[in-house]
């Protein structure tokens, strides 16, 4: 007697499986139809709700003084035509040796996908290497006194000076996104929030991508004559300077 297992099916067994396969295909087709029909539930695009980040950036608050800077170069070429910008460099009159803080805001147009994108992509394409990435909360920066979320990026890249010397330059950067009501440092979280507001609240919204950054100098920059020794601050000190700057600026520009 042959006791070996067989991989072949009898005609009766194959016939008994047919209804189960048909049922699964029918269920799959129904799920796909239901999913595609949800598109019709999305509200039509209407007037955009403005970002809660106001403009223009103030040029003076407390001991901090700013100067507007022009946005030029590749940024203008790759972003949608209705994208708007605010950019300025700030110095602290009470601490003149501190490196300047650059504040840069990109206000999205109707073509959101071509107005705002993850900054990591641009930085890496410009040759920056990331040495530190994390989420940070700036204490009490929200209008109601809550903490404001940011994504921190510390990046560095080698730069050749006019005398042929090569030196590594470093920057620390905090960024976040301001929607009509939401504030999030997460690019994918911003996208999800945008979909939820469109679906459940019935509006499109403008997003403002805000970045605050400053250079981080060390002794090698002093030795090369790039900066004065008083301009040298540790990374931790630079992070504290950025947080302090945001705490002073945010109440003036966040509704």
- Identify which of 75, 118, 90 has the alpha carbon closest to the alpha carbon of residue 207: 118
What's the confidence (pLDDT) of residue 110? 73
Exposure on the CB side of residue 138, measured as CA atoms within 13 A: 28
- In the prediction, which pLDDT does 112 show? 63
| pLDDT at residue 39, rounded to an integer | 41
Structure tokens at 209: 């991508």
**pLDDT score for 75:** 61
The answer to whether the Cα torsion of 15, 16, 19, 25 is positive or negative is: negative
Sign of CA dihedral 7, 13, 16, 19: positive
Plot region of 145 (φ>0 → left; ψ -120 to 50 → alpha; else → beta): left
pLDDT for the residue numbered 10: 44
On whether the CB atoms of residues 220 and 186 are closer than 8 A, the answer is: no
> Taking Cα atoms as reference points, which of 141, 150, 170 lies closest to residue 244?
141
As a whole number of angstroms, the distance between CA 170 and CA 125 comes to 16
pLDDT score, position 229: 95
**Nearest residue to 52 (alpha-carbon basis) of 192, 198, 178:** 178
Region for 132 from its dihedrals, namely left if φ exceeds 0, alpha if ψ lies in -120 to 50, beta otherwise: beta
Residues 239, 241: Cα–Cα separation, whole Å: 5
Per-residue pLDDT of the chain (255 residues; tens, 9 = 90+): 444 444 444 444 444 456 666 677 767 666 665 554 444 444 555 678 999 999 999 999 999 999 999 877 666 666 667 788 899 999 999 999 999 999 999 998 776 665 677 788 788 888 899 999 999 999 999 999 999 999 999 999 999 988 888 999 999 999 999 999 999 999 889 989 988 998 888 888 999 999 999 999 999 999 988 999 999 999 999 999 999 999 999 999 999
Q: How big is the CA angle at 188 (ends 184 and 193), to the nearest 5 degrees?
A: 60
Q: Count how many Cα atoms sit within 13 Å of the Cα of residue 7 in the half-sphere of its side chain.
A: 0
Distance CA 152, CA 146 (A): 18
Give Cα separations from 123 to 19, 173, 176, 214, 248 (angstroms): 56, 11, 15, 14, 27
Instruction: Residue 213: name the closest of 154, 159, 138, 158 by CA.
Output: 154
CA pair distance 185, 144, nearest whole angstrom: 18
pLDDT at 40: 44
Write the CA distances from 155 to 24, 106, 152, 174, integer angstroms.
52, 21, 10, 11
Q: What's residue 31's pLDDT?
A: 64
Report residue 130 as tokens: 């990331």
In this predicted structure, what is the pLDDT of residue 11? 44
Q: Which pLDDT score is estimated for 32?
A: 61
């Amino acid at each position: 007697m042959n006791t070996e297992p067989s991989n072949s099916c009898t005609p009766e067994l194959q016939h008994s499986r047919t209804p189960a396969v048909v049922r699964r295909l029918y269920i799959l087709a129904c799920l796909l139809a239901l999913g595609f029909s949800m598109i019709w539930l999305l509200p039509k695009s209407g007037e955009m709700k403005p970002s809660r980040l106001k403009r223009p950036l103030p040029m003076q608050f407390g001991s901090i003084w700013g100067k507007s800077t022009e946005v030029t170069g590749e940024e203008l070429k790759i972003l949608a035509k209705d994208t708007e910008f605010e950019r300025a460099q700030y110095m602290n009159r009470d601490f003149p040796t501190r490196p300047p803080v650059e504040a840069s805001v990109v206000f999205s147009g109707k073509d959101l996908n071509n107005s705002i994108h993850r900054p990591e992509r641009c930085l890496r394409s410009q040759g920056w290497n990331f040495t530190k990435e994390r989420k940070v909360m700036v204490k009490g920066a929200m209008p109601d006194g809550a903490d404001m979320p940011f994504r921190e990026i510390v990046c560095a890249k080698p730069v050749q000076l006019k005398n042929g010397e090569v030196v590594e330059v470093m920057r620390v950067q905090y960024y976040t996104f301001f929607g009509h009501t939401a504030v999030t440092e997460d690019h994918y979280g911003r996208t999800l929030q945008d979909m939820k507001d469109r679906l459940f609240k019935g509006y499109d919204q403008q997003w403002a991508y805000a970045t605050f950054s400053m250079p981080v100098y060390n002794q090698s920059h002093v030795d090369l004559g790039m900066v004065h020794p008083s301009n040298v601050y540790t990374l931790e000190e630079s992070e504290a300077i950025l947080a302090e700057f945001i705490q002073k600026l945010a109440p003036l520009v966040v509704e």
